[in-house]
A and B are shown apart, each in its own frame.
Chain A
Amino acid sequence: MSRGAWLGALAAALVALPWLAGEFYVNLTSQVLIAAVFAASINLLLGYGGLPTLGHAAYVGIAAYVSAWFFLKLGFGHWLTAPIALAATTLMACLFGLIALRATGLGFLMLTLALSQVLWGTAYRWVSVTDGDNGLRGLTRPAPFGIDLDDSTAFYYFALIVTAVSIWLMARFVASPFGAALRGTRDQPRRMAALGHNVGLIRWVTFVYAGFWGAVSGLLFVYYHKYIHPVSLSLQSSAEGLLAVIAGGSGTLAGPIVGAAIVVILKNYVSAYIERWNMLLGFVFVLIVVFMPEGLVPGLRRWWAAWKARTK
């Protein structure tokens, strides 16, 4: 089956899901979609930029908290809180990018971790704003064009549309000349600099762009759960996103989506049957990194190609 056929089948299945499966599975898929946007945004940095980030949950958190705060404390409607949240997060990403990009490789990883830990600690301790460990609740979902998103099917389609648009835009970004330059800085930063590209600027722009999409997934997250808690900013959340990208295959478009599906399903579904699912998550992860280090999607493609070649 060609790629187009695969995509078409997937799209059809996603659109038809509410008729095929019950409410629980629709909700589960909504969560997969939210995680997919998050993973895809990490992938911009990791897969295409060569910059491993362990603090991306910070953007989810800022967007969610800003949206919640403006809604709860100032009574703004969603059509206002959403752009404010996105703008605030993007600004934060600008600032964090300036700091984090002073290093690359492991230093960059540590800096992103440190910055997100600072935010996490602040979310916990700045009780007057974030209500600390209580989290912010009493939130609502937006009602675009008057459609009530409290219904799981309605929300599912909303999330599906947002996810599709996000992924499409990220794909365009990656395929553009800027995306090519980005991949160049991943593979050969010195050569790129010698050719006259501003490597730092390219990386910074990507960082901010990735932060923006992290914010989008953060808004979807807070709309879905109608609740935000500091744990969503924690190292655990960032690590899960990173795991999803690595497991699925960084540097591909489909990889993060597959990885996100794996992590969400393991967390929410398998955990009902296997108590120590954390161990399973770690184990699956170790297996993938060791035997399929390029990730599940490229690895499976490789196996598929090898099998086809053998059976010729």
Chain B
Amino acid sequence: MQFWAIQTLNSLALGGLLFLLSSGFSLIFGLMRIANLTHGALFMIGAYIGASILKVVPNLWLAALLGGLVVAAFGGLVERFILRKLAGNVLGQVLVTLGIAFMIADFCLIVWGGDPIPVPTPSYLQQPLRFAGLAFPTYRLVVIGIAVAVGIGLYFLMERTRLGAMIRAGVDDMQMARAVGIPVSKLFTTVFCLGALLAGAGGIIGGPMLSAYPGLDADMLPLALIVVILGGVGSLVGAFVGSFIIGFVYTFGVALLPDLAYVILFLPMIFVIAFRPRGLFGKFAA
């Protein structure tokens, strides 16, 4: 009983973190049709920057916000000066994001070295929460809450604001959106920045769980891909649901069938693309 309860909570916590990571990816993929392979690296550099900011500003939430903004600014520069030059060359954009990911990874090695950097959990959340004979890290429960809050926030952004309407229009029908006068270039930059912000802040928020270490980008990127393909490109609901599904699949899969962990992880994605390319809630095929 204890095993199932704790694993369920673990799955939810992992799912929450994955949502922070993949919501931005889904938006970028959905609107700009770019599979942003830099996304894992943005998550990682967010974690590193957050760890450094925390040395000066000991408030995790503030660090997450500031770090997220820094990563967002970087994302904006990448979009404006590199991705825009490759407009229309979808493959080129994907590959360039891969090249930039390599560069960011090495950059982090230069600046922060090869050791993992711990991101300290806020002291008031360090004690585990004990209930019904179980102990569970309080911080991970908070992460679940943050993911839900961000999800609600993004929902409001998409459904109730002008920006959201423009994004949805662009995802549905880019040609018409342009025809109707939506400033698509600015929109792209905004969305890319938003995605980068979510990734960077997610890296810092995930810091107390995962730390910042070289290779974090390569660990997180496939998970983001799987979530977004499964949930459906361009759909926030899809990213949300997909994150938690993968959280469960991964956590229980590793516990019950450790040798097949990788197969289990990728099988959903293979099935989805092969048999239902839209994913669960997507508007179009990947």
Contacts and interface: CB of A to CB of B under 8 A. Distances in A.
Contact of B266 (A117, A278, A283, A286): A117
A51 to B, nearest CB: 10
A282 B270 contact: no
B256 to A, nearest CB: 14
Which are the 5 A-B pairs with shortest beta-carbon distances?
A121-B262, A282-B102, A279-B106, A285-B99, A282-B103
Best-buried of B85, B218, B265, B269 by chain A (most CB within 10 Å)? B269
Interface of B is mostly: helix
Contact of B277 (A103, A114, A278, A281): A103
Contact of A111 (B91, B107, B259, B270): B270
Interface of B: 33, 35, 82, 85-86, 89-92, 94-96, 98-103, 105-107, 109-110, 218, 222, 225-226, 229, 258-263, 265-267, 269-270, 273-275, 277, 285-286
A200 interface: no
Contact of B109 (A102, A235, A276): A276
Contacts, number: 120
A276 to B, nearest CB: 5
A279 B86 contact: no
Given A111-B274, A278-B106, A289-B92, 8 more contacts: A103-B285, A105-B90, A106-B35, A114-B270, A120-B262, A276-B110, A278-B105, A283-B99
Interface string A115-148: 1011011101110000000000000000000000
Nearest to A279: B106
A88 interface: no
A99 B274 contact: yes
A170 interface: no
18 contacts: A102-B277, A105-B90, A106-B33, A106-B35, A106-B94, A107-B277, A109-B35, A109-B94, A115-B270, A117-B222, A118-B262, A120-B262, A126-B259, A278-B103, A279-B106, A279-B107, A289-B92, A293-B89
B60 to A, nearest CB: 30
B177 to A, nearest CB: 21
A293 B274 CA distance: 30
Interface in A250-305: 276, 278-279, 281-283, 285-286, 289-290, 293
Nearest to A103: B273
B266 A289 contact: no
B263 A102 contact: no
Contact of A290 (B86, B98, B262): B86
Interface stretch (A22-30, A150-158, A179-187, A239-247): A239-247
B262 A289 contact: no
A261 B140 CA distance: 48
A289 B95 contact: yes
Given A110-B229, A117-B262, A289 B106 contact: no
A208 B71 CA distance: 42
B95 A246 contact: yes
A110 B277 CA distance: 11
Nearest to A114: B266
B106 A276 contact: yes
A124 B258 CA distance: 12
A52 interface: yes
